[in-house]
Chain A
């Protein structure tokens, strides 16, 4: 890589089950003000803006066009949008900074899961000819994956419960999280997954600022340098994939340089406990790696923002001096079909 680019600020909402009283822009705007405030930048100072969101979550076409109201796009700004998690918006912004066309970027994403039945909404992602007509919901698909893992001897229900408990215990220190502290493992939602194995459904938004080179050092005491970032997708059909593995996460990690040196912290976007098991193996994370100190997606999973939040939390750990080399991960699609991995580093202390 020929240009050093860093996450220099991160902000997020308090994630909640519902946010009826706020429109999307009303929910998003304070986060934008927060992240810009951390750097002292104004919209007009930002070289490139990129966001991620989904019309299907909102139930309205072109829903992102009004979210731009919160940015203050005047005079006009250089801006783009992905119909993906904000982590991919960050990736697009990273490429823009690499070209040298911009030195700073604002990345944001938001999602309100509360207006719809998100388990049903996500069925619309599936093969529209063979699978979507059966309405298999997102928990059911994850449960098929979890059973594969159990059958393969990779995990069992107590191990899954331990992942859930660790995540919510860690989330107790995260005031933004939706599920914190002691949360019962609960009844089966779709067996073998219990309510406690599943991420909460909720609304939220997140934003980060990226900056290149010296600009990053001006804006942040300890920038979280992107040492590598990559994303990969797998075949769509569950029946052709080995659900106990995530070759796309592993390949993305390899391309991002994760395996060159150990990371001390990993923020994994695993909306189900079983998916953390898959990701830990694919990403070769040992017991000495702090996984999801924020509580991860099991503590708050605002769709379209949750992946960006993982990258933001990893960066924030570096900003605070709690990590020197952190992995941030985001996922999209059924059963971890698509994965993004970034390696972030702080300057030596």
Chain B
């Protein structure tokens, strides 16, 4: 079997996250070098402060400042930092219970090596030089052997509190379409459209998906279809799609290639958009270097009768 195709697939979005009041106060506080917790109904102080009590599910809003110093409750040495992590030199992941808090905060600890880290060690916040209201305003923690720093008694109210954060997120994948689609794509490179026939119902799938979806069995027999086909239904697109360099209006159609068991989708050209009709006979138009036909144009044959394609809409 020829080698399957693979290609990089990057999924990258900036997410705009609106904040509830507790998150807004906490992250704004970090910007101002103030660490806030939230007090639960039974008096525990949660840092980082969450909006809902994990035990009772009660909404909690009672903000209380805690110290920027605290104690490591557990740690893990990360000798090979990964993209996006707080430090790009080896560091320890730590859970830190800040002085005045009853729960622990996850962050990084800058330390020369694993021998310099232990559970119970005292640490303090190292603030980022530039702060915007984000968890990364804490650059990391660092070892600290001084006195417990005292909170200033901040109320948790800020004049210009942030109400949202923007978090970029990039994940890199390597995409492989699998055996059947690879065969289809390789044939397209020769400007041939090759589907696969179901051994059970004998329908021809274009593009083939590896399985006949109605029979649940593998399709294997390759069948060339087209090149001509019939427009079975369509719409006229009047708004420009993002990242798509096609002048509007244009016709987006379902096209049943001759011999195919179902329609595929394509653009119709070579005819005014308002003259495209169901039943129109078309053929693919290829452009140099493109993987798929650029569009389909009329063949000049008489239109197909509705009854010949009504199952292929």
Contact = CB atoms under 8 A, between A and B. Distances in A.
In the complex they form, whether A and B have CB atoms below 8 Å apart is answered with yes
A134 B114 contact: no
Given A128-B15, A147-B119, A119 B82 contact: yes
Contact of B6 (A20, A116, A133): A20
Interface stretch (B210-218, B233-241, B253-261, B300-308): B210-218
B180 A129 contact: no
B176 interface: yes
Nearest to B1: A21
A114 B178 CA distance: 13
Nearest to B94: A144
Contacts, number: 193
A32 B83 CA distance: 38
A131 interface: yes
Interface stretch (B102-110, B266-274, B281-289): B102-110
Nearest to B118: A151
Interface string A53-77: 0001001000000101111111000
Interface residues of A, number: 61
B188 interface: no
A116 B216 CA distance: 27
Contact of B136 (A134, A188, A191): A134
B85 interface: yes
The size class of the interface chain B forms with chain A is 35 or more
Interface SS of B by simple majority: mixed
Contacts of A151: 74, 119
Contact of B48 (A117, A119, A136, A239): A239
A347 interface: no
B85 A59 contact: no
A263 B174 CA distance: 43
Nearest to B169: A124
Interface stretch (A3-11, A23-31, A248-256, A309-317): A23-31
A20 B4 contact: yes
B77 A238 contact: no
A174 interface: no
Contact of A191 (B108, B114, B172): B114
B171 A237 contact: no
A78 to B, nearest CB: 16
Contacts of A85: none
B79 A188 contact: yes
B242 interface: no
A135 B106 CA distance: 11
B19 interface: yes
A190 interface: yes
A151 B209 CA distance: 52
Contacts of B83: 120, 135
Contacts of B94: 144
Contacts of A124: 169, 171
A130 B218 CA distance: 46
A145 B79 CA distance: 17
A50 interface: no
Nearest to A116: B173
Interface of B: 1, 4, 6, 9, 11, 15, 17, 19, 23, 26-27, 46-48, 50, 54-55, 73-79, 82-86, 93-95, 97, 103-108, 114, 119, 134-136, 165, 167, 169, 171-181, 209-218
Given A70-B211, A146-B76, 10 more contacts: A22-B178, A24-B178, A25-B210, A29-B211, A59-B173, A124-B169, A143-B76, A145-B74, A235-B55, A240-B103
5 closest A-B pairs by CB = A72-B216, A23-B178, A143-B76, A235-B54, A135-B84
Interface of A: 20-26, 29, 32-33, 43, 56, 59, 66, 68-74, 114-117, 119-121, 123-124, 128-137, 140-141, 143-148, 151, 188, 190-193, 235-240, 243
